[in-house]
Amino acid sequence: MVAATNNQVVAWKFIETESTGGTGYQGERIVWDTVRQKLTQGEGIAIWGYRAFSQEERSRREMDILLVSKDLGLAIIEVKSIAINDIKKVEANRWKMIPGFYKEYLAPIEQAEKQAFSIINRCDRNSFLYEKVAARVIVALPKITRRAWRDKGFDDNHLTCPPIIFKDDLERQPDLLDYIANNATVIRHAASTLNDQQWQQLLKQVVSPIPNKTPPVSQKTTLSPRSQAIVHLHEWISDVDWQQTEIGMQIPPGPQRIRGTAGSGKTLLLCQKAARMHLRHPDWDIALVFFTRSLYNLIIELVDQWLRYFSGGEVCYNAKSSKLKVLHAWGGTNQPGLYSTICKASRVQPKNVSHFPNFTPETALAAACRDLLEVTTIPPQFDAILIDEGQDLIIDDDALKFKGKQPFYWMAYQALRSPEANTPELRRLIWAYDEAQSLNSLVIPTSKQVLGSELSQIIGGSSGGFYLGKIRKAHVLKRSYRTPRCILAAAQALGMGLLRPEGMLAGITNKKDWERIGYQVTQGDFRIPGATITLTRPQENSPNPIRTLWDKELISFQFYSSRQAELKALANCIKHNIEDEKLNPSQDILVIVLGNSFETKKLQEQTANHFLDAGINYYIPTAPTINFFPDNRHNVFPNRFWNPDSVTIAGIHRAKGNEASVVYVVGLDYIARNESNITARNQLFTAMTRTRGWLYLSGIGNYPMYQEIRQVIQSDSTFTFTFQRPKRDVSE
C-alpha cells in the first residue's frame, strides 16, 4: 500500500497539527500567525507541532515550529511564552528562572538543537541527503521586547546570548525567512542548496514517511516480465501527497469526514493518523474500527508499522496493553469489538447475529446498537474513534435507526469524551468511506446521516468548513494509488452505469464533485438533461506506474458458453501464472466470485473443484487449512484471508479491503442478469478495484451488459455519455 503522489510544492504550505494546546499555546499562536503571514519567499512547508524521534537518545521530541525550506534546509523555532520577569539570569545557553517557576532552568537553544538533530540523523540515513541538509535553530519570545531584554541586562551582544526573535521582531520584520537566515544558529552547514531530487527526498523524510516495506523475495534468479513488474509495484513510492500529509498529521477537535474512492489510501491514512494520535497523546483511549473481519491482520500490521516507524522502534502495537485499540465493529467471543466493548462499559449483555435471524450482518449490527441505545445511557470512554469502511456501517431501514440517526455511529459518538467542556458537541469521531463500495445500503454516511440534522452543522453548515487552525472538517481524496487508471475508471463507469443505453444508475451530477474525485469534465453541462458529457481521468490522479512496466493489456473480459468452460480457462490462466510466470499463489493472485450468498458459495465450490483437478492449491477465507471448504461442523478462522502457497477464492464481502497484483473476477453473468441493480454493480466495482496490476473478468451466456463492458474497456479512462439524472445521486 502506497500513499503518495507527484504533486509539487510551489510556495509555502502550512500545517497546524492540533488546534488546542496546553502551556505556551497563546505564545506559539502569535509566532505561528506571524510565520503564516511573513513566509512569502521561496518554497517549503511550515508545521506547528511536529513530532520526531531520536534513535540515538531514544526519546520523542515535539518541535514548536518546524520550517522545511528548499533554500535554507531545516529551521527550528523554539517558542517560550514567558515574561521578562520570569528570567532571573542568562548563564551561557541556560536561563536561570525565578523561584516558583515550573523549572529551575530553561535551555531553549539546546532543546531546539536536539530536535533538529533528530531530523538530521534520519535524513543522513538517506543516501540522497547524507550531510546535504542544512539546519538552523532560533528562539522566539513573543511576550518580550528587545528593549526589555536589554534593560534586564541580557544584552543581545553578550557572547552568551542565543539568537532570538523578539516580540517587536515579529511585528516589524517584513521577511521572516531572511531574518532567520541571518540570525539563527547554524548547527549543520551544507555545501549547496538542494536540487529537485534532494528536495523531494527531504519532503518525504520529514512530512510523508513510508514505513519500511518488505517486498516479496523471489527464489528465482530470472524473473518473468510480470514478476518483474510486481516487484517494481511493491517497491514503488511516489512523491508527497500534501492532502494526505495534512490529514495524517492533524488532530481535529471534533468530527471529521474523509471520502475517498477505492485505492485512495483511506485505510493506510487512518492507521497512520491513529498511530500519530497515540504517540502524541499516549494517555488517550483511541479506537480504530472497521467492518470486514479479514482486514484484522492487515490493519494491526499497518498500525504496528507506523508506531514502530514514528517511535524509532520504541513503541509497537500490543492488543492487550495499548490504549490504542484495533477493533472490529461487532466483536466476538475471543476478540472484542467496538459494540461489545461499549456494551461491557455500559454493563449490558452484548447481542450477536444469532439474535437477529434473517438479518444481514450489517442490519443485525444496527439493530443491536439501536437496542443498546434504547436501554441505557452510554458512558464516555474514548477520546477518539476512527472508523474505516464507513459505508458498511450505514443502514437504509428507518425502523432500525435511533431517533433518525444511524445507530452504530450514534453509539460511537455517545462513547466519546468531549475535549472541551464548553463545547460538549465536539467529539473526535472520524470516519472514512467510499459509497461505491457499499454492498448492502444505498445510503451515504454524510454528516447528517451520522449525527442527525442538528449536529450535522458541526461539519460545514453554519459553523463553516474548518476548525481553528485551518483543520478541515471534511476531505475528499481524489487520487487512487492502488488500482491502475484504466481499471479504476472502468470500475467507476460500470459501477455507475455511465455508458448504459438507458442512462446512468448512480453517480455524481455536477462538475465540481467530479473534479473532487479526480476527473476532468471536458464537455457538457450537467444542468441540462440529455447533454453530452465527456469525462477523463488524468494520470496524475492515478499514479500507479504499471503502464511504464507493462505494455500489454491490463484489463480484459471473456464470456463463455458454460461455467465449466469459464472455470477451465481460469484454471489454465492461473496455472500459467504460477508455473510459467512464477507468481506467488498467495497475495499475488486473487479470485473473486460474484453473486448473492447462495450463488457465491456454489461458485466458490465449483472453482475450488476445478483448481484441484488442475493441481492448484486453493484457500477459502476462514477455512482452517488449504484445499478445504469450511462448513458449520468445523472451527473457522474469521480473520484469515490468505494462506501460503494457495490461491484465495473469495466472495466480495470477504475480498473487500484486500488487494492483489492479479485479480480474476468470475461469474459476471450474476451481475449482467440484474444489471439495473445498483448494489450488484457496487459488487462489481469493489471486485474490480482489488487489483494493483491486472484484472481479468469473465462470465457465461450473452447479456446486453456485456456490450457495455466492452465499450467501457475500450474507452480507456475517457467516457462520453448522454446525461440523465440517476436513481442515486452521490454528489456532495
pLDDT of residue 160: 58
3-state secondary structure 679-706: HHHHHHHHHHCCEEEEEEEEEECCCHHH
Mean pLDDT calculated for residue range 666-690: 95
With contact defined as beta carbons under 8 Å apart, do 557 and 713 qualify? yes
Is 465 inside any structural domain?
yes
Mean pLDDT calculated for residue range 328-347: 92
The residues, any chain, with a CB within 8 Å of residue 431's CB and separated by 6 or more, are 256, 257, 258, 386, 387, 390, 409, 445, 450
Angle at 562 between CA 557 and CA 568, to 5 degrees: 70
Is 349 inside any structural domain?
yes
Give the confidence band of 239 by pLDDT, cuts at 50, 70, 90.
Answer: low
CATH code assigned at 467: 3.40.50
**pLDDT tens, residue by residue, 49-60:** 888 764 444 455
CATH code assigned at 669: 3.40.50.300
The region of weakest confidence among 101-105, 445-449, 490-494, 680-684 is 445-449
- 155 versus 667: the higher-pLDDT residue is 667
147 in helix, strand or coil?
helix
pLDDT of residue 86: 94
**pLDDT tens, residue by residue, 705-722:** 999 999 999 999 999 999
> What's the alpha-carbon Rg for the chain, to the nearest Å?
28
Is 2 inside any structural domain?
no
Q: Which amino acid is at 4?
A: A
Q: How many CA atoms lie within 13 A of 181 on its CB side?
A: 14
Give the confidence band of 6 by pLDDT, cuts at 50, 70, 90.
Answer: very low
Cell for 211?
A: 514505513
Is 434 inside any structural domain?
yes
pLDDT of residue 277: 94
Q: Which of 252, 657, 208 is nearest to 427 (CA)?
A: 252
**pLDDT tens, residue by residue, 127-174:** 899 999 999 999 999 999 999 998 888 875 556 567 899 999 998 888
Examine the domain organization and report whether 470 and 503 are in the same domain: no
The residues, any chain, with a CB within 8 Å of residue 481's CB and separated by 6 or more, are 1, 2, 3, 4, 5, 238, 263, 264, 265, 542, 543, 544
What is the average pLDDT value for the chain, to the nearest integer?
89
Residue 211 DSSP class? P
pLDDT of residue 20: 65
Is the pLDDT at 605 greater than 90, yes or no?
yes
Residue 456 DSSP class? G
Examine the domain organization and report whether 252 and 180 are in the same domain: no
Which range marks the domain in which residue 357 is found? 243-477
Examine the domain organization and report whether 180 and 247 are in the same domain: no
pLDDT of residue 8: 52
The region of weakest confidence among 254-263, 699-708, 713-722 is 254-263
Of the residues 148, 183, 207, which one is the last residue of a structural domain? Answer: 207
**pLDDT tens, residue by residue, 386-419:** 999 999 899 888 899 999 899 999 999 999 999 8
Q: Which of 19, 21, 14, 18 is nearest to 66 (CA)?
A: 14
| Neighbour tally for 98: CB within 10 Å | 13
Examine the domain organization and report whether 366 and 502 are in the same domain: no
Examine the domain organization and report whether 439 and 506 are in the same domain: no
User: Which phi and psi angles does 188 have, rounded to 5°?
Assistant: -150, 120
The residues, any chain, with a CB within 8 Å of residue 599's CB and separated by 6 or more, are 667, 670
User: Which phi and psi angles does 456 have, rounded to 5°?
Assistant: -65, -20
pLDDT of residue 435: 75
Q: Which of 427, 363, 419 is nearest to 396 (CA)?
A: 363
Examine the domain organization and report whether 471 and 565 are in the same domain: no
Examine the domain organization and report whether 465 and 489 are in the same domain: no
What percent of the chain stands above pLDDT 70?
Answer: 91
- How far is it, in rounded angstroms, from Cα 698 to Cα 99? 79
Examine the domain organization and report whether 457 and 501 are in the same domain: no
With contact defined as beta carbons under 8 Å apart, do 627 and 612 qualify? yes
pLDDT of residue 157: 52
Torsion of CA 653, 656, 662, 666, to 10 degrees: 30
Is 176 inside any structural domain?
yes
Give the confidence band of 10 by pLDDT, cuts at 50, 70, 90.
Answer: low
With contact defined as beta carbons under 8 Å apart, do 545 and 482 qualify? no
Examine the domain organization and report whether 450 and 511 are in the same domain: no
The residues with which 664 forms a beta bridge, in sequence order, are 591, 696
Is 238 inside any structural domain?
no
pLDDT of residue 218: 47
Give the confidence band of 217 by pLDDT, cuts at 50, 70, 90.
Answer: very low
Of the residues 477, 506, 536, which one is the last residue of a structural domain? Answer: 477
Is 31 inside any structural domain?
yes
The residues, any chain, with a CB within 8 Å of residue 333's CB and separated by 6 or more, are none
Q: Which of 674, 639, 7, 23 is nearest to 297 (CA)?
A: 639
Of the residues 207, 232, 262, which one is the last residue of a structural domain? Answer: 207
- How far is it, in rounded angstroms, from Cα 236 to Cα 348? 48
What percent of the chain stands above pLDDT 90?
Answer: 64
The residues, any chain, with a CB within 8 Å of residue 697's CB and separated by 6 or more, are 555, 556, 557, 558, 665, 668, 688, 709
Residue 84 DSSP class? G
Q: What's the pTM value of the predicted model, to 2 decimals?
A: 0.89
Mean pLDDT calculated for residue range 332-357: 92
Q: How many CA atoms lie within 13 A of 318 on its CB side?
A: 7
**pLDDT tens, residue by residue, 469-503:** 889 999 999 899 999 999 999 999 999 999 999 99
With contact defined as beta carbons under 8 Å apart, do 380 and 414 qualify? yes
pLDDT of residue 209: 65
3-state helix, strand and coil shares in percent for the chain, rounded to the nearest 5: 35, 20, 40
Examine the domain organization and report whether 551 and 435 are in the same domain: no
The residues, any chain, with a CB within 8 Å of residue 632's CB and separated by 6 or more, are none
pLDDT of residue 60: 59
pLDDT of residue 243: 86
**pLDDT tens, residue by residue, 518-569:** 999 999 999 998 999 999 999 999 999 999 999 999 999 999 999 999 999 9
Is the pLDDT at 216 greater than 70, yes or no?
no
- How far is it, in rounded angstroms, from Cα 23 to Cα 21? 7
pLDDT of residue 225: 94
Max distance between CA atoms of the chain, in angstroms, equals 94
- How far is it, in rounded angstroms, from Cα 630 to Cα 632? 7
Q: Which of 18, 9, 67 is nearest to 38 (CA)?
A: 67
Examine the domain organization and report whether 140 and 49 are in the same domain: yes
Distance between start and end Cα atoms, the chain: 27
Mean pLDDT calculated for residue range 300-313: 88
- How far is it, in rounded angstroms, from Cα 577 to Cα 333? 40
Cell for 499?
A: 455508458
Helices 447-455, 407-414: inter-axial angle, 10-degree rounding: 60
Q: What is the DSSP string of 259-318?
A: EE-TTSSHHHHHHHHHHHHHHH-TTS-EEEEES-GGGHHHHHHHHHHHHHHHTTTS----
3-state secondary structure 332-371: CCCCEEHHHHHHHHHCCCCCCHHHCCCCCHHHHHHHHHHH
Is 223 inside any structural domain?
no
The region of weakest confidence among 9-23, 95-109, 292-306, 600-614 is 9-23
Examine the domain organization and report whether 262 and 309 are in the same domain: yes
How many domains does the chain fold into? Answer: 3
- How far is it, in rounded angstroms, from Cα 148 to Cα 287? 49
pLDDT of residue 2: 34
| Neighbour tally for 638: CB within 10 Å | 14
Cell for 214?
A: 518488505
